């Protein structure tokens, strides 16, 4: 696995993409994280991009956040988003069962585009402040996250509950998977070096026998 990272001004850049059905609160979640303000209505656009400097576990980084549109007419652009992202926030609304079902489809699409299931993801059930309108239980969200093998949060963009946790956890997931990939590369490199040494020894022995 090749690891490609971006730096800007000496800071590591993390390319984060928000995906999910339209109307689940992706833009509200992003705006709360970036500006600490809540927008109740957001015009559906093809995409909005934001940058936010963060310090997580003592390490400073710059988040490049792409807030994608969930409307059907923009689905053709999803492949491009999925190829460019390092980590993904898959968002649904706890008040909309269809958006929850869509979350599972989004995960499959990411795997198809990236040709791997080892991708940093955080699953988010937004709008938990609208408990009286709940259509998806917390247990269902937890079960889907277990299926994805990823962290899960129920959030409220309106109340700013667990908003920072979502983005910070995704950065930690990206870092963790990068470290795992580096360790795997080191193992393969050491194994290759051992095989080369063994082949060299056998080759030397054969030459000595011939002499």
pLDDT tier at 41, thresholds 50, 70, 90: low
Per residue in 87-137, pLDDT tens?
Answer: 999 999 999 999 999 999 999 999 999 888 889 999 999 999 999 999 999
Q: Is 50 helix (H, G, I), strand (E, B) or coil?
A: strand
| Least confident window among 9-18, 45-54, 168-177 | 45-54
Q: Mean pLDDT, the chain, as a whole number? A: 86
Domain boundaries, the chain: 6-185
Taking 70 as the threshold, does the pLDDT of residue 138 lie above it? yes
Q: Is 204 exposed, middle or buried (0-12, 13-18, 19+ CB in 10 A)?
A: exposed
**3 to each of 100, 103, 107, 115, how far by Cα in Å?**
31, 27, 21, 15
Per residue in 174-200, pLDDT tens?
Answer: 999 989 888 877 777 777 777 777 667
Greater pLDDT, 22 or 170: 170
CATH architecture of the region 6-185 = 3-Layer(aba) Sandwich (3.40)
DSSP assignment of 96-158 equals -HHHHHHHHHHHHHHHHHHT-S---EEEEEE-TT-GGG--S-HHHHHHHHHHHTS-EEE-BTT
Run of H or E including 65 = strand 59-68
| Average pLDDT over every residue of 31-49 | 76
Q: What are the b/e assignments for 148-178, b being 16+ CB within 10 Å?
A: bebbbbbbbbbebebbeebbbbbbbbbbebb
Model's pTM, two decimal places? Answer: 0.82
pLDDT at 73: 45
Residues in the chain: 211
Contacts of 7 (CB under 8 A, 6+ apart): 13
């Amino acid at each position: 696995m090749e690891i490609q990272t971006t730096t800007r001004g000496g800071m590591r850049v993390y390319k984060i993409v928000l995906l999910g059905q339209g109307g689940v609160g992706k833009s509200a979640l992003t705006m709360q994280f970036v500006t600490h303000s809540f927008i109740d209505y957001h015009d559906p656009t093809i995409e909005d991009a934001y940058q936010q400097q963060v310090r997580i576990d003592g390490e400073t980084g710059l988040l490049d956040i792409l807030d994608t549109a969930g409307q059907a007419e923009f689905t053709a652009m999803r492949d491009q988003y999925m190829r460019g992202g390092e980590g993904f926030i898959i968002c649904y609304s706890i008040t909309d069962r269809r958006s929850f079902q869509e979350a599972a489809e989004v995960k499959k699409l990411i795997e198809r585009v990236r040709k791997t299931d080892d991708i940093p993801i955080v699953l988010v059930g937004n709008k938990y402040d609208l408990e009286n309108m709940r259509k998806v239980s917390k247990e269902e969200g937890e079960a889907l996250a277990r299926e994805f093998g990823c962290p899960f949060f129920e959030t409220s963009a309106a109340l700013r509950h667990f908003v920072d946790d979502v983005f910070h956890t995704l950065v930690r997931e990206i870092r963790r998977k990068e470290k795992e990939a580096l360790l795997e590369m080191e193992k393969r490199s050491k194994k290759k070096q051992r095989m080369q040494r063994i082949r060299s020894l056998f080759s030397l022995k054969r030459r000595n026998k011939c002499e």
